[in-house]
Amino acid sequence: MATQVIVLNGGSSSGKSGIVRCLQAVLPEPWLVFAIDGLVESMPASMQAALVSPDGGVTVGPEFRKLQDAWREGVAATVRAGAPVIVDDVFLGGGESQEGWRKTLVGLDVLWVGVRCEAAVAAGREIARGDRVRGMAQQQAELVHRGVEYDVEVDTTHMESLQCARTIAGAVIGGTRQPY
């Protein structure tokens, strides 16, 4: 079975979005992208405002989880309908978040990718971006990886997005894994 889903997990400002764009350029066929940022942006403004605290912490409640579960099911349905998908996510719950995806993607061939970045570097990117609450990158840098198992890990601290994407594409093109 060929890889059907690539799930990238990393903290805010770790470089996932850049890697995703490069992956779409280097993979031999077209892949759709579903990003957690897109899910959040599609929610009502009142929910968006309640997610992030002034120190950059993120708190999700039952309404968010309900919508997130529906979003995950939609992603899985898209894959089952024949489209390969790249997921750009932030596992705030670490291994528990991965387990949620595992249940949703059961029977599909998934490549789990950890996108790491040193907290200080991610925090610098966060400031440069100007569209994130300061402190988010620092808080998420290690938190999102706790208890998560990966097939491939890349570190954007000293590696460019294109190099990371080529590493991941190599695993997609040359590697096989058991369906989850």
Catalytic residues: 37
- Angle, CA 74 vertex, CA 5 and CA 85 arms, to 5°: 20
Q: How far apart are CA 50 and CA 26, in angstroms?
A: 37
Say how far apart CA 129 and CA 147 lie, in whole Å. 29
List the 5-9 sheet strands across, edge first: 32-35, 85-89, 5-9, 110-116, 152-155
Tokens read off for 61: 């409640």
Question: For residues 73 and 170, what is the distance between their CA atoms, to the nearest angstrom?
Answer: 27
Instruction: Specify which residues 32 forms β-bridges with.
Output: 85
